Each structure stands twice: as structure tokens, then as C-alpha cells.
């Protein structure tokens, strides 16, 4: 699989950056600011994300023991004598969620991130520390709505009684979790803007790659194979449930073990709250572990109340509701080093009165939505023999233009794919009369992103992204991933 910065993406003129050449958030250049602090022998103070209540934001509900008037912003060196960014490498067990901020979706994504060292280096650039060239300034990189951005922060953190207000490390002198959370809070507008969300949002912002989403009660029969391939590649995965162990989990690992000489598919999960675990079959205390060989028990079985647990694939698909798979690129799906997926991306906009025609039932206006022609060529021999029949993935993401994440509501969005013949030009309403789409999103939903993984035969197709209602104005990013050579215009 290609390294993190080589995913066969074909950029257009609006998309030329990468994790190694990101845009600067708010025009803050880390190298220049860092050097200025070293030259002037001062610690950096970020005036664009200042140490005050504007950066914390407004919370609708706070625990009674939390008095925001008592918040004091302190640098790590004011809290411990020997602060470190990382102590003994990064781990999913390094941090604990604070009591104020409901961002378990973000922390669950961090748990998945800790398994992929290449992606960690992409998000958290190396050569930052509290010793060599320390100046109270750090930077992190995220993918936001089709663009990689570099985010500069100072290391002043909100505390009450010398305890961190939000995420904290279980090792008192380790601060990468708190600084990563602060950088993401700056991107989203404030700490309060991190309250509530979907794990897929953070997974995408860590990778900038391909997102696949499955509803588990209707998942394809080959989901286990997809998960197994994903685990062996540079892929982040997460899942959600409203009924077991709080609300959001980070999906970590999959294995097959033998029980009474029969294979059993197991998945390992992490509850980001750090406590409360599955109590059924294959849980920490399950007697089923006594039936497997000692070698497997040594590798897999730990009786610890650390929020991590195993369960069977059968129980997983019954109890959990969805799974998100976010990878740097989907080459792993085919199991062939010779078959490489490519991607095309386009930045567009729905404008009221011109290109916001609503969904397909708005027969008189649907055709006014943006229309994208896709030509798919024949597969080569290597790609044609891939493990999965699907050969194209289409993603539609609505681009938030407001600074504060929670100040902008999503519209219900989706897309339709139609087969073309030899038609040319822009298609009017007549083209869509009595013409059934060959593929479409399952429904129009208010998620930040919707996607569909499907198969198209070689030929020409038309993709029409839309909002549900006529006249809804928003920007969007349309991405097409394909293992065929794809032409998008």
C-alpha cells in the first residue's frame, strides 16, 4: 500500500495541498512563529485562540461541581516539573475523557489513531517537544473538507485546581492528548463545539482518505473480509451503539480463533470512557477463554477494567448499529499490489435560484443541480480479479463555511447516478423523466458526509448531488474513488 502521502489522488486546481504541504489555518505559519519566539526568547501566546472563555465556548449543561469562573489557563511546566509531549510512545490507554465535554466520538477516533504510526506522524508532526527549542508553541495537521490544514496552538490549557478541565493523560507529565484536543477545538471554533458528534468525522479529519459506512443489520455478507483486509492496512475504524457501554466505541482489531475446533470471528473494541465493558460471550470474564489454547489466551485475554473487550462478530452485528472504515486509500480492498484505486475530487456549491434544485422528486427543478459526467474504462486483469465486486465509491460531503462547528446545521443530502449513452451537453428535465438511477444513496440524510460503495460497468454515467429541499444553499465536496481509470468533468 502507498505511504500516507501517495494515494493516487488526482488533484484539480482547487486541491493541490497534502499532509506535507498543508494550508495554514488563519494564516498562522508555525515555522515563522516558532522562530520568532526563539529569537525573542518568549513563549508563544496565541491571540487567535486566546486563553479565555471565548476559546472554551458555551455549554448548555455543566456538572454542578464545575465552576467556569474558577478556570485558570496554565502551561504544562506550571503543572508538572518535567512535562513531555509523549511518554513511552502513544497508546489508546494514555488518556481519559473529562467530565465537562461530551466528545467521546473524538476520543474514540484517537484510540484508533494510536495504532497507525504513519498517520500519527501525519497528524502530529515530529520534532516537537518541551525540551529542544521549546517556545510554548505546537502544531497539528487535519484534513477538513478536502483540504489539509496546519493548526498552530500555544500550550496554555484550561485547568481548575491544577487539574485539566478536558481530556487528560493518565501519565501526569504526558500532554499530547490535551494538545491534540486543543488543536482540534481551535479548528472547530471552541472546546464546546466538540460536544456531540460522529466518530467518522474525526476519522476522516485524521486521514483525508476514503470513508466507508455500513449499517450492521443490513451489512453485506463479506463485511468480515472487508474488516480483515482493513485491519491489515493503514486503516482507522470505529463503531457506534446506543444500547451498550455508553454510546460510542473505537473498533480496534479482528482475529479468528478456534473454539471446539471451529473458527470463531472475534472483534476487539474500546470504550473511550475507559470503564464499563461487555459482559457476554468472550468478555474478560467469559469462561469461553478457558476453552482455547494457552498461546491464544496469552496474546488476547486480559482481565482488566480498562474499557477494552472482545466479542463475537455475531454479537457485534446484533448489538452495534454501524461501522465506519476510513483509510488513506482503498487499495486494501483488492489484495493486489498491482491494482491501485484512483480518486477525483470536485468542489461545488448549491446556490438558491440556480444550482439548488432539490431532490429527484422535484421534477421541474432537479435538473438544475450540478451534473458530473463520469467515464469508467475497462478494468485491467489485476483489478478485474479483485476480492470484491464493487469498483467505485462516491462520497458527498457538505462543506461547513462557518468557523464554529455547532453553529451550522447540516442539510439532508444525497446523490443519484444515471447511465448515459451518447448524449452531450447539460441535461434538462426531459432527460430525467422516467429514467431510473443505476445507483443512489440509501436515503437523503443530514450527516456531514454520505457515501455509497457499488459496482458500475464500463461506460458513461451522470452523478447529480443534491439537497432534499429546493433552494438550500451550501458548498460541497464530491469525491469519486475507483479502481477503473475514471474521467470526471
Strands in 9-10's sheet, in edge-to-edge order, are 9-10, 342-350, 474-482, 392-399, 449-454
- Please give the full DSSP string across 120-177, using - where no structure is assigned: HHHHS-SS--SSTT--SEEEEEEEETTEEEEEEEES-EEEETTEESS-EESSTTB-HH
**104 has catalytic annotation:** yes
Which stretch of DSSP H or E encloses residue 31?
helix 30-40
Which stretch of DSSP H or E encloses residue 186?
helix 176-188
**399 has catalytic annotation:** no
> 391-427 burial string, b = 16+ CB within 10 Å, else e?
bbbbbbbbbbeeeebbebeebbbbbbbbeeeeeeeeb
Residue in the block written with cell 472475534? 266
Distance between CA atoms of 251 and 241, rounded to whole angstroms?
Answer: 12
Query: How many CA atoms does the CB half-sphere of 149 hold within 13 Å?
Result: 20
Distance between CA atoms of 313 and 232, rounded to whole angstroms?
Answer: 17
Long-range contacts of 437-446 (CB under 8 A, 24+ apart): 437/360, 439/394, 440/414, 440/415, 440/416, 441/396, 441/414, 441/415, 443/414, 444/359, 444/412, 444/413, 444/414, 444/468, 445/412, 445/413, 445/414, 446/409, 446/410, 446/411, 446/412, 446/413
Distance between CA atoms of 352 and 350, rounded to whole angstroms?
Answer: 7
Distance between CA atoms of 98 and 157, rounded to whole angstroms?
Answer: 13
Show Cβ contacts of residue 214 under 8 Å, excluding neighbours closer than 6 positions: 220, 223, 322, 323, 325
Q: Which one of the listed residues 168, 188, 271, 339 is annotated catalytic?
A: 271
What does the chain come to in residues? 489
Q: Which one of the listed residues 104, 229, 339, 383 is annotated catalytic?
A: 104
Task: Give the three cell numbers for residue 221.
Answer: 455478507
Report the catalytic residues: 104, 271
Amino acid at each position: 500500500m502507498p505511504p500516507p502521502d501517495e494515494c493516487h489522488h488526482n488533484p484539480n486546481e482547487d486541491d493541490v495541498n497534502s499532509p506535507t504541504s498543508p494550508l495554514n489555518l488563519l494564516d498562522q505559519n508555525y515555522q515563522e512563529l516558532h522562530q520568532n519566539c526563539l529569537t525573542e526568547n518568549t513563549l508563544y501566546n496565541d491571540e487567535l485562540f486566546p486563553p479565555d472563555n471565548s476559546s472554551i465556548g458555551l455549554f448548555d449543561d455543566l456538572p454542578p461541581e464545575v465552576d467556569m469562573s474558577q478556570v485558570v489557563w496554565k502551561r504544562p511546566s506550571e503543572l508538572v516539573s518535567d512535562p513531555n509531549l509523549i511518554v513511552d510512545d502513544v497508546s489508546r490507554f494514555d488518556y481519559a475523557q473529562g467530565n465537562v465535554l461530551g466528545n467521546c466520538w473524538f476520543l474514540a477516533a484517537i484510540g484508533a489513531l494510536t495504532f497507525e504510526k504513519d498517520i500519527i506522524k501525519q497528524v502530529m508532526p515530529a520534532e516537537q517537544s518541551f525540551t529542544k527549542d521549546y517556545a510554548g508553541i505546537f502544531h497539528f495537521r487535519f484534513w477538513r473538507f478536502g483540504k489539509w490544514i496546519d493548526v498552530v496552538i500555544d500550550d496554555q490549557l484550561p485547568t481548575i485546581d491544577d487539574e485539566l478541565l478536558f481530556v487528560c493523560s493518565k501519565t501526569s507529565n504526558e500532554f499530547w492528548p490535551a494538545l491534540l484536543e486543543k488543536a482540534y477545538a481551535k479548528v472547530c471554533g471552541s472546546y464546546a463545539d466538540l460536544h456531540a458528534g460522529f466518530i467518522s468525522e474525526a476519522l476522516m479529519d485524521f486521514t483525508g482518505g476514503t470513508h466507508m459506512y455500513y449499517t450492521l443489520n443490513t451489512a453485506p455478507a463479506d463485511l468480515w473480509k472487508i474488516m480483515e483486509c482493513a485491519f491489515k492496512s493503514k486503516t482507522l475504524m470505529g463503531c457506534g451503539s446506543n444500547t451498550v457501554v455508553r454510546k460510542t466505541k473505537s473498533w480496534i482489531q479482528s482475529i479468528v480463533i478456534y473454539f471446539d475446533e471451529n473458527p470463531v470471528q472475534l472483534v476487539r473494541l474500546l470504550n473511550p470512557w475507559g470503564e464499563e465493558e461487555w459482559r457476554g460471550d468472550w468478555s474478560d470474564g467469559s469462561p469461553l477463554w478457558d476453552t482455547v489454547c494457552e498461546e491464544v489466551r496469552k496474546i488476547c485475554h486480559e482481565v482488566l477494567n480498562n474499557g477494552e473487550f472482545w466479542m463475537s462478530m455475531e454479537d457485534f452485528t446484533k448489538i452495534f448499529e454501524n461501522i465506519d472504515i476510513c483509510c488513506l486509500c482503498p487499495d486494501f480492498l483488492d489484495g493486489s499490489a498491482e491494482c491501485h484505486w484512483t480518486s477525483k475530487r470536485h468542489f461545488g456549491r448549491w446556490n438558491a435560484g440556480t444550482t439548488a434544485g432539490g431532490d429527484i422528486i422535484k421534477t421541474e427543478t432537479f435538473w438544475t443541480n450540478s451534473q458530473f459526467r463520469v467515464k469508467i474504462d475497462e478494468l485491467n486483469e489485476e483489478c478485474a480479479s479483485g476480492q470484491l465486486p464493487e469498483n467505485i465509491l462516491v462520497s458527498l460531503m457538505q462543506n461547513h463555511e462557518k468557523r464554529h462547528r455547532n453553529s451550522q446545521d447540516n442539510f439532508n443530502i444525497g446523490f443519484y447516478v444515471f447511465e448515459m449513452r451518447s448524449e452531450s451537453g447539460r441535461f434538462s428535465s426531459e432527460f430525467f423523466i422516467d429514467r431510473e438511477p443505476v445507483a443512489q444513496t440509501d436515503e437523503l440524510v443530514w450527516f456531514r458526509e454520505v457515501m455509497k460503495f457499488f459496482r458500475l460497468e464500463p461506460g458513461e454515467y451522470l452523478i447529480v448531488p443534491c439537497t432534499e429541499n429546493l433552494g438550500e444553499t451550501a458548498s460541497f465536496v464530491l469525491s469519486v474513488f475507483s479502481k477503473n481509470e475514471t474521467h470526471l468533468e
